[in-house]
Amino acid sequence: MEKMKTRKVILDVDTGSDDAIAIMCAIKAESIQLEAICTVWGNLTVDKTTLNTLGLCEAMGVEIPVYAGCNRPMVKDRSKYRDLEDSYEPLIIDGKELKSHYDRLEGIPEPSRKEEDRHAVRFYYDYLIEATEPVTIIATGPLTNLGFLFRLAPQLAEKVEQLIIMGGGVHITNCSPAGEANIWHDPEALQIILDTGIHPLLVPLDATHAAALNLDDCARLESLDTFAARFTAKLARQRIEYESARFGEYHSFSAIHDALAVCASIDESVLEDVQELACRVGLSGSADGDILIDRREVPEEEVNVSIALSANKEKFVAMLCELFAN
């Protein structure tokens, strides 16, 4: 794995299965100095994502400050015309309940410590106001915490060296015909972020699906026989089992979306076909939560995002194996 300079990183997560793998990647990466983890609603309610995050940190033997954040979108839930119901309901197969994200990460201890006593948005504000060095933020859930932060203090975007967002889909979506879950759940938050001029790197479904893990990859990880490798394989198998049941046996793989975003912060060459594009966010109707790319021959919008349209699956798996080998 190509060495990079150490960077200060804050994670913003809605810890279910793939966020858990992303957190372990950040903990194990020598090039990441993990300053804090902020939690948000999304895969689960924020109390559950916070508990999962605390428990995982304890299982990994680290004490990283965890700040609980928002438990609802900025405005989307205020409109009866904008559905927020989860389209990925549990499946019952032979009496067994299957989910992509269970309320608790199985095999993780009950945490002995609590989250910090500051709200995540307040933590971001205080941290960035006082920061004398640049920081990278990696967001792998709905962007509500960051939306509120930059609505209150857009000038703090200047303190962010890089913002990496796992979210969006150009040719692939999941929550709606146009929307990917993280963006669809709180599209206003992303638009507020874009309005700061921060120029994020988006790791959308197009990239994460190109690097999806299969059962052979799970076996390769299991053979490393470390906690992080075994737990990653277990979570990936759980996701594959659910998705195979939901979408058919041909779907014998699962995208570990959030871990790819963290790996991109370690070595961006794991991403492929990264394009500089002008986009805004759909905020209503059938375009709600869509990444609207200005495809005109002469775009009227300014380029404001980098979007990875693919990824190197072999490199991604190799990075996971290297990170979790010890």
Looking at the DSSP bridge assignments, the partners of residue 293 are 279
Looking at the DSSP bridge assignments, the partners of residue 32 are 7
pTM here is 0.94
The pLDDT, as a whole number, for residue 247 is 78
Residue type, 205: L
The pLDDT, as a whole number, for residue 250 is 62
Q: How far is CA 92 from CA 86, 252, 286, in A?
A: 16, 18, 30
- Rounded-to-integer distance, Cα 290 and Cα 169, Å: 8
The pLDDT, as a whole number, for residue 101 is 72
Looking at the DSSP bridge assignments, the partners of residue 162 are 136
Burial 10-26 (b: 16+ CB within 10 A, else e): bbbbbbbbbbbbbbbbb
The pLDDT, as a whole number, for residue 121 is 98
Q: Parallel, antiparallel, or unpaired for β 160-166 and 201-203?
A: parallel
How many residues belong to the chain? 326
The pLDDT, as a whole number, for residue 16 is 92
- Run of H or E residues at 187: helix 187-195
The pLDDT, as a whole number, for residue 261 is 98
- Run of H or E residues at 223: none
The two three-digit tokens of residue 129, written as one number: 């106001």
- Rounded-to-integer distance, Cα 244 and Cα 74, Å: 34
- Run of H or E residues at 282: none
The two three-digit tokens of residue 53, written as one number: 């995050």
The pLDDT, as a whole number, for residue 83 is 63
DSSP 188: H
The pLDDT, as a whole number, for residue 246 is 77
Looking at the DSSP bridge assignments, the partners of residue 297 are none
Residue type, 55: G
> For residue range 43-70, what is the model confidence (pLDDT) as tens digits?
899 999 999 999 999 999 999 999 999 9
**If you compute the radius of gyration of the chain from its CA atoms, what whole number of angstroms results?**
18
Q: Exposed, middle or buried, 204 (CB in 10 Å: 0-12/13-18/19+)? A: buried
Sites in the chain below the pLDDT cut of 70:
1-4, 78-89, 91-100, 102, 249-250
Domains and CATH numbers, the chain: 7-323 (3.90.245.10)
